[in-house]
Amino acid sequence: MSGPQVLEAGFASKSDCLVRYAASEDAVSMAVQSSVQTLFGEAIRRSALEMLDSYGVATGRLDIEDDGALDLVIRARIEAVLRKAGFALQTGERRAAVRRPPTSRDRTRHTRLYVPGDQPHFALNAELFGADMLVFDLEDSVAGERKFEARILVRRLLENEFLFEKSEVAVRINVLRDECGKEDIDEIVAARPHVILLPKCESCSDVKILNRLLSLQEKERGIEGGSIYIAPIIETAKGALAATAIARASDRNVALCFGYEDFSRDIRARPAPETSAVQKKNTQTDALLAREMIVLAARSAGIQPLDSVFSDIEDTGGLTESCYQARALGFEGKAVIHPAQIEHVRRAFSPSREEVERAKAIVAAYEESLKEGGGAVAFDGQMIDVPLVDKAKRVIEESGRGA
Amino acid sequence: MEWMDNALGRKIPAEIEGKTCVPFQGAFIDSGKGAPDAASPARTRRAIPLRQKPDKRVAGWDALFDRLDIRDGAKISFHHHLRNGDRIVNEVVARLAVRGVRDLTIVPTALFPVHDALLPYIREGVITKIDGSMNGAIGAACSRGEIRRTCVLRSHGGRQRAIQEGDIPIDVAFIAAPTADPYGNANGFFGPSACGPLGYAKPDSEHAGTVVLITDNLVPYPCAPWSIQGANVDYVLEVESIGDSSKIVSGTTRITRSPTQLRIAQLAARFIEATGLMTDGFSFQAGAGGISLAATVFLAERMRKAGVKASFAHGGATKVLVDLLEEGLLGSIVDLQSFDLDAVQSCARNARHIESDPYASYGPHSRGCVANMLDVALMGATEIDIDFNVNVVTHSDGTLLHGIGGHSDACSSAGCTIITVPSFRKRIPIIREKVTTVTCPGEVIDVLITERGVAINPKREDLLWKAKKAGLPCKEILQLMGEVQAITGVPAAPRFTDRPVALIEWRDGSVIDTVWQLATE
């Protein structure tokens, strides 16, 4: 055996801190090194002492290497090392109950911004870019050995009351087939996310397991039962074929999402050569049927179908095209991986001024004809019937929501 | 030491080194410091009329210094057009140190990280004062009290005025010139060390006791164009290399990808359009920082859509501005320094890309400078307080880390001055109850734009009304400060001694604030 085990959490990078705890027999000691020493050195020390006290730590050594992390980040990193070291909360660090304005089942979800769950730097301003939903990711953007500290960080980010006041907040957990996903739920429900995104969902039982876990946690924590929603993500062949059952598996379901990259890999689609028009246009023909199935499944269950990401951040023209394509298929929104994509996606999914004007004209012409006792009327050479009027009314309603 | 308060309530010394300090009274109240004074040490530069060609060339550094006879206590000046690629400042100081000269005052227009090499000379007493900007490690050394005398920071305009009016009697100006002829005519457009304009050296060339031109690209007389006139130059020294070209200008200028910076830039462009500033023939200064460049791009998009053209853009030039000039969205660029190769080439070839100098651009006692013609200035800050006073020189922990540049000049001369900054950097809030150091008074700052909202100086109700009507996220600055501090916490105050390590001069030469030596832990 070598020297005492040193446990670590966080990164020594901008807006984060690297915290180490080394167990020993000696009375607890602490060292703080910070790029904002003069301004916050004392505050960091105070928080650390409070955390050591809360976790009943009397021995060992705590080292903090800080580069301007917010207090909640520092506490998250300290909590992670102390819990890794086997300490448990003793006195109860005082935390106010999370008060989050509720969301609604059918709120607009044109854009959902993915935020990596272990990089505070990306999270702090995430709300400011106007995404309809923020998705704090514990799955693909977090490496295996970082999952533990990431879920603590995400919980503390969501518990704070200043950073995410207006957005709908969601957490993408890990798959439930291993312990990791269950641990995510145990940790994260306390922070009352609006929605849980369930990745690689392949059957209605996946949703039912999540539903049960959520109910248990809600009960334990005194949260209204059923208040946390679910959005399953379909990203395998199996999942696509089970889409209908998945969409109907729980009353908590508010949306059915598609994950293209994993799906394409799962069905072993081989991309066209990079020089070909198919590849350049990024038409995702390999996923066309699956996407249509997801739209059908979601619509038949009365929930929102939401499309995958468009991964080339630079190609805004391609992004807009892919949004139009998704819209034409029936999707209501798209995932974004960079805030710069939000505006393009929103614009593509929101009705344009011309569309709204046209919709208003259709409704007006229809109502006029009703008044006159007539049935169907022609508008712009097109027969106006009830479905067309309903569609026009939805466009008007949608434009009102966006404003 | 005796102290007094200036009009902003900042504590300043009554006198430094036997010279009375004039307290700042207001951005537009001239302290009269620059009034002609019989006792002014500004020297008259006169030479004896000669028949035919004076010989200005010197054989090498040693021959040069033999002729210059620089004594202890001399004031020597430099320009910063070669930026982080400069080889001349370090070379001159090292050679003077070898010759045993001490107690130098250096008067650079700006210093860069490459000049950290001066630190040993500061500690040894070769350099005992810096009249100009102090950046990075040298600023930090100044804050720790390692520079023996009290330094002075001035804006580009303030420096020009101080030189012209004899506040800083420069003994020798060393002017690195990318292209020059044996007579001393010089420009920055050509040669291996091309940097674009050479204007920052112009006041020095006109008013220093002796002017030395150092070049690595000697061309036959007459060098064209001549940004620096040979008529002002005493000696010409040819050297192998004046700079590292890769660090003088960048090959390309990239637009930021930071979502926060992009959001601030987008808000700034929206603000300019929504408040009616973006009218045909308007003008702006934006600088080459991340937010400024992006704001320029977003503003251009709006101009294109609205069919509006700007008459000129002022300040540092980049490819972004050059492209707009060529597209016809800009009538002219008035350029003080070029940041990339495209800007250097444009300034050399395009008559509408005008090379400027500190007097024409920022001169406080000029009869109207370019900055006075600006409708909008987008500027940065390290801190801003609830009275809109701005700090660009010290960090919140009290360390001196930046120069003023043209900040004070552009802010106080433009029609609408907008500070664009993130509301916090790392954990440090930018909006403070009181800034650590005032470099620019709140009376000339109209708007603060951060990613978390727009705060408008209550003096500018006209702007507030228009911005609100356009749906911009307007907040009172106090509210914005509160929101940010709720996220970051309130930082502790740095501790200082009562030794002034530097004075901040306002454009007219009055003292607007003092930088204090940091107390040791």
Inform me whether the pLDDT recorded for B38 exceeds 60: no
Same domain, yes or no: B275 and B233: no
Give A-chain residues touching B260 at CB under 8 angstroms.
125, 128
B166/B39 Cα distance (integer angstroms): 10
In a domain, B269, yes or no: yes
pLDDT in tens, A81-106: 999 999 998 876 656 667 888 888 88
pLDDT of residue B55: 86
* Amino acid in position A338: H
Please work out, in degrees rounded to the nearest 5, the angle formed at the alpha carbon of residue B316 by the alpha carbons of B312 and B317: 70
The mean pLDDT value of chain B amounts to: 94
pLDDT of residue A241: 97
Inform me whether the pLDDT recorded for A403 exceeds 50: no
**How far, in whole angstroms, is CA A98 from its chain's centroid?**
18
Q: Which domain holds residue B474?
A: 259-494
Give B-chain residues touching A68 at CB under 8 angstroms.
425-428
Spatial CB neighbours of B327, under 8 Å, sequence gap ≥ 6: none
Establish whether the linkage from the previous residue to A101 is cis, with ω within 30° of 0: no
Number of domain units in chain B = 2
Mind telling me how many Å the CA of B488 is from chain A's nearest CA? Answer: 6
Mind telling me how many Å the CA of A211 is from chain B's nearest CA? Answer: 34
Spatial CB neighbours of B304, under 8 Å, sequence gap ≥ 6: B329
* Amino acid in position B231: A
pLDDT of residue A3: 60
Domain A111-349: which CATH number of 3.30.365.10, 3.90.580.10, 3.20.20.60, 3.55.50.30:
3.20.20.60
In a domain, B151, yes or no: no
Give B-chain residues touching A125 at CB under 8 angstroms.
259-260, 263, 451
What DSSP string describes B452-504? TEEEE-TT-HHHHHHHHHTT--B--HHHHHHHHHHHH-PPPPP-EEEEEEEEE
In a domain, B137, yes or no: no
Inform me whether the pLDDT recorded for B36 exceeds 80: no
pLDDT of residue A401: 59
Residue B119 is part of a domain; what is its CATH number?
3.40.1080.10
| A282 vs B420: which has the higher pLDDT | B420
A248/B495 Cα distance (integer angstroms): 64
Inform me whether the pLDDT recorded for A230 exceeds 70: yes
> Is B473 near chain A, with CB under 8 Å?
no
Overall average pLDDT of the A290-311 stretch: 95
* Amino acid in position B371: A
ipTM of the complex: 0.89
Same domain, yes or no: B83 and B230: yes
**Residue for token pair 């060609």:** B53
Cβ within 8 Å, pair A39-B428: yes
Handedness of CA A385, A387, A393, A398 (dihedral sign): negative
Same domain, yes or no: B244 and B96: yes
Inform me whether the pLDDT recorded for B42 exceeds 70: no
Inform me whether the pLDDT recorded for A272 exceeds 80: no
pLDDT in tens, B422-467: 999 999 999 999 999 999 999 999 999 999 999 999 999 999 999 9
Q: How far apart, in Å, are the Cα atoms of B97 and each of B67, B181, B370?
A: 16, 29, 40
Cβ within 8 Å, pair A69-B427: yes
3-class DSSP assignment, residue A74: helix
Cβ within 8 Å, pair A162-B483: yes
Q: How far apart, in Å, are the Cα atoms of B372 and each of A187, B307, B375?
A: 59, 25, 8
Inform me whether the pLDDT recorded for A11 exceeds 60: yes
pLDDT of residue A162: 84
Closest Cα partner for B256 from B284, B229, B230, B286? B286
pLDDT of residue A375: 66
Overall average pLDDT of the B314-336 stretch: 95
Cβ within 8 Å, pair A162-B397: no
Of A67, A129, A162, the CB nearest to B259: A129
Least confident span in A92-106, B162-176, B205-219, B313-327: A92-106
Inform me whether the pLDDT recorded for A280 exceeds 80: no
Burial track B346-365 (b if 16+ CB lie within 10 A, e otherwise): bbbeeeebbbbbbbbbbbbb
Beta pairing, strands A229-234 & A168-172: unpaired
pLDDT of residue A402: 47
pLDDT of residue A367: 84
Same domain, yes or no: B418 and B450: yes
pLDDT of residue A1: 44
> Is A166 near chain B, with CB under 8 Å?
no
Same domain, yes or no: B292 and B179: no
Element (H, E) at A150: helix A147-159
Best residue in B427, B450, B487 to probe A by mutation, most A CBs within 10 Å?
B427
Element (H, E) at A33: strand A29-34
Same domain, yes or no: B399 and B436: yes
pLDDT above 90 covers what percent of chain B?
A: 88
Angle between helix axes B61-68 and B88-98 (nearest 10 degrees) is 70
Closest Cα partner for B313 from B337, B330, B297? B330
Question: Which regions of A263-326 does DSSP assign to beta strands (E)?
Answer: 304-309
Cβ within 8 Å, pair A36-B427: yes
Same domain, yes or no: B434 and B289: yes
pLDDT in tens, A133-176: 999 999 999 999 999 999 999 999 999 878 888 889 999 999 99
pLDDT in tens, B189-223: 999 999 999 999 999 999 999 999 999 999 999 99
Same domain, yes or no: B337 and B268: yes
First to last CA, chain B: 24
Cβ within 8 Å, pair A42-B492: yes
> Is B426 near chain A, with CB under 8 Å?
yes
B47/B60 Cα distance (integer angstroms): 23
Same domain, yes or no: B314 and B180: no
> Is B470 near chain A, with CB under 8 Å?
no
pLDDT of residue B520: 85
Same domain, yes or no: B193 and B284: no
Inform me whether the pLDDT recorded for B251 exceeds 80: no
pLDDT in tens, B179-192: 999 999 999 999 99
Q: Are B192 and B241 in contact (CB under 8 A)?
A: yes
Inform me whether the pLDDT recorded for B228 exceeds 70: yes
> Is B496 near chain A, with CB under 8 Å?
no
Q: Are B463 and B362 in contact (CB under 8 A)?
A: no
Establish whether the linkage from the previous residue to B225 is cis, with ω within 30° of 0: yes
Cβ within 8 Å, pair B492-A340: no
Three-state SS across A175-243?
Answer: CCCCHHHHHHHHHHHHHCCCEEEECCCCCHHHHHHHHHHHHHHHHHCCCCCCCCEEEEEECCHHHHHCH
A395/B5 Cα distance (integer angstroms): 64
Best residue in B383, B421, B426 to probe A by mutation, most A CBs within 10 Å?
B426
Same domain, yes or no: B421 and B464: yes
**Residue for token pair 């101080």:** B162
- Where in chain A are the domains? 6-84, 111-349, 353-402
**How far, in whole angstroms, is CA A138 from its chain's centroid?**
9
Beta pairing, strands B453-456 & B447-450: antiparallel
pLDDT above 70 covers what percent of chain A?
A: 94
pLDDT of residue A353: 84
pLDDT in tens, A15-59: 999 999 999 999 999 999 999 999 999 999 999 999 999 999 999
Mind telling me how many Å the CA of A50 is from chain B's nearest CA? Answer: 16
pLDDT in tens, A186-217: 999 999 999 999 999 999 999 999 999 999 99
Same domain, yes or no: B110 and B207: yes
Cβ within 8 Å, pair A15-B426: yes
pLDDT of residue A277: 67
> Is B487 near chain A, with CB under 8 Å?
yes
Helices (H) and strands (E) in chain A, counts: 15, 14
First to last CA, chain A: 64
Residue A311 CB neighbours (<10 A): 15
Q: How far apart, in Å, are the Cα atoms of B268 and each of A101, B56, B296, B424, B449?
A: 31, 51, 9, 17, 7
Inform me whether the pLDDT recorded for A291 exceeds 90: yes
Phi and psi of A114, rounded to 5°? -80, 130
Please work out, in degrees rounded to the nearest 5, the angle formed at the alpha carbon of residue B79 by the alpha carbons of B74 and B81: 165
Give A-chain residues touching B428 at CB under 8 angstroms.
36, 39, 68
Spatial CB neighbours of B242, under 8 Å, sequence gap ≥ 6: B82, B86, B87, B88, B176, B177, B178, B193, B214, B215, B216
pLDDT of residue A361: 86
Cβ within 8 Å, pair B427-A70: yes
Burial track A15-45 (b if 16+ CB lie within 10 A, e otherwise): bbbbbbbbbeeeeeebebebbbebbbbebbe
Cβ within 8 Å, pair A68-B425: yes
pLDDT of residue B54: 86
In a domain, B30, yes or no: no
